[in-house]
Structure 1
Amino acid sequence: MNQNYSGDTCQAYVEGSSTSYGYVPSFAAGVAFVALFGLSMVVHTTQMALLRCWWCVVFAIGSLVEILGWGARIWSNKCPYAQTPYLMQITTLIIAPTFFTAGIYILLGRLIRICGPQSSVLSPRLYLWIFCTCDIISLVVQAAGGGMASSGGGGQSSSPSSSSSASSVSTRAQTSSSSSSNQTTGTHIMVGGIIFQLISITVFVGFAGDFLWRVLKRSKSVVPKSGTMLALFAATAFSVLLIYIRSIYRTIELMDGWTSSTMQNESLLIALDGAMMVPAVIIYNLFHPGWMLAKIERNGGSFPSSIPLLSEQELTERCQQHWEPNKRIGI
């Protein structure tokens, strides 16, 4: 008789009976990532409280969402046919990086506030509105698509059998058709959300690059270019690069389809998702924005909007213009 391992049935893996993943998730990988993200979450929460940098909670929340995703994969290792952990890991691992990008967007706004509005084409508040709104849209779209795709896709695995009734075959065919339709629609929605996130990150990188160029070309007497600020820039660039690589992988994975070799290759998921996101968030434990922004402000202070940001050449020209008239009258 045909066995259908669906719902939350905790059935150990049966040789020859495929799972929704196309494999049994690695227990070791799940434990390792839960431990790493758990450590980062605890440290971020502690740092946030000690430094009173409350907006940094997004890094702790993102780590928690990653923990839920990898924890669900540990669950799936024991119950590979259960639907709840399968749905959980799809949705949570897809949306988790949006919390990290939200923190990065807020961070750039804080840096602009320190260096002065002339260091950017957009105001700090406008950065927050534009990119955090894009992040929320991306989060909602990916979550909705992930929920639809996972509920329509997995857990329909069955073991080989010798016979089944005609009515059960017909019922399963109708259910399979409906599930396949939901899965396809959900996948398209998810891909759209990830591509939208990629576009948002790309635009953000352009603005961030412009900000960095403006800051680095200014005189140190006008804009503080301390090692602390440059280290924070480097940490942010590193984190953005890893998130970008992960998003490209996820886009290709989903576009290839749920039964593709890309989707059913756990090694790729570990290398291009988990292994990308761990350093992307831990880097901010090492270079915490709350501590580093405070240090930058102590070193250079904030610059009011009334003070123009002049290059060294502009400062020299103005000094010469002031010096020449005074020289002629003997001052």
Structure 2
Amino acid sequence: MVTSPEDSAYEYFPSVPAAAIMSALFCIPLAWHTIRILKTRTWFCIPFVLGALFEVVGFGVRTTGKSQSKELSLYVVQYLGILLAPIFFAAAVYMFLGRLIGYTNGQSYSFIRITWLTKIFVGGDILCFFIQVVGGSLQASADDEDGNKLGGNIILGGLTLQIVIFLLFLAVAVLFHKRIHARPTARSMETEFPWERFLHQLYIVSILITLRNIFRMTEYAMGKGSYLLIVEWPVYVFDAFPMMIVLAIASQWYVGKIYTKGENTGLVSISSQENAYLRA
């Protein structure tokens, strides 16, 4: 990592090989999730594709950071691509929990009505998205310290809200899990669909996204010129790699067409091929 000139959009010259490798690596889950969505018609997982695409574009454009370090438009694209991608992953995670609750007929065990569960959390996710878009755009285009600080504070607010929403979401998931263990439903006792395994995976994914957001929140809270903003390795260790793990774990969620029908019933349709996969 080499310090960039004063008029550069970057705090340092990004590593071209690292950005190129990461962009190429994200192409793998992008292709996998796209193929699985089309085969299983698991449409609620589309946000994984969108998030992976943001990562591919973000790190792909980041490869121009050394040769075209003064191009603000390129900086903004890579900056927002990497910053916003996890919001899409979070949206899919929120929808997945609603479908798991619906499948087990455990609607009464959720302290948020299942018909509102996805709406509330995805709605909050969309709000966080726009807050961070505004903050990121302001910070990336700021030509003075005040503008940069304002943009950073807006991003910080969006990340803080996202963490609060995710913690509430985890509380819903954990309470549902605890209640259904205490009083299992007939559907939850069936073995053809490993809903509890998926719930454990959902916990891991949620924790990874939350830790990533805490890293980003700390980064912006420390302010311009702080260690986390003038070195590159934390972007890969605390952001890119955890999100790669999220996509890898979520790649196992294409085992059936999970959806909710009506206000009080959950339904899962699983093909014979998928049944064989589940029992393997």
TM-score in terms of structure 2 length: 0.86
CA distance in 2, matches of 1:16, 1:279: 31
RMSD of aligned alpha carbons: 2.4
Write the letter of the residue equivalent to 1:128.
T
Matched, 1:62 2:51: yes
Whether the 8 Å contact between 1:111 and 1:293 is mirrored in structure 2 is no
SS where residue 12 of structure 2 aligns?
coil
Matched, 1:17 2:5: yes
SS where residue 76 of structure 1 aligns?
coil
Matched, 1:91 2:80: yes
* Structure 1 segment 118-157 matched on structure 2, within 5 A: 118-152=108-142
CA drift at 1:16: 7.4
Write the letter of the residue equivalent to 2:228.
T
CA drift at 1:48: 0.5
* Structure 1 segment 77-226 matched on structure 2, within 5 A: 77-116=66-105, 117-152=107-142, 176=143, 179-219=144-184, 221=186, 223-224=188-189, 226=191
Q: State which of 258, 261, 270 in structure 1 corresponds to 2:224.
A: 258
SS where residue 77 of structure 1 aligns?
coil
Note the alpha carbon deviations across 1:102-131, whole angstroms, 9 max, x for none.
Answer: 000101111111112123122222101110
CA drift at 1:42: 1.0
Whether the 8 Å contact between 1:262 and 1:268 is mirrored in structure 2 is yes
Note the alpha carbon deviations across 1:63-120, whole angstroms, 9 max, x for none.
Answer: 0111121112111133223212211122221111110000001011111111121231
Q: State which of 23, 42, 67 in structure 2 corresponds to 1:34.
A: 23
Write the letter of the residue equivalent to 1:100.
F
Matched, 1:282 2:272: no
* Counterpart for residue 238 of structure 1: 204
Note the alpha carbon deviations across 1:266-317, whole angstroms, 9 max, x for none.
Answer: 11111001111111122111x12x41565xx9xxxx9x959xxxxxxxxxxx
**Residues 68 and 49 (structure 1), Cα distance of their counterparts in 2 relative to 1, 3 Å cut:** same
Radius of gyration: which is bigger?
A: 1
Whether the 8 Å contact between 1:112 and 1:123 is mirrored in structure 2 is no
Stretches of structure 2 that go unaligned for 5 or more consecutive residues are 266-280
* Number of positions where the alignment pairs a residue of Structure 1 with one of Structure 2: 260
Identity among equivalent positions (%) equals 25
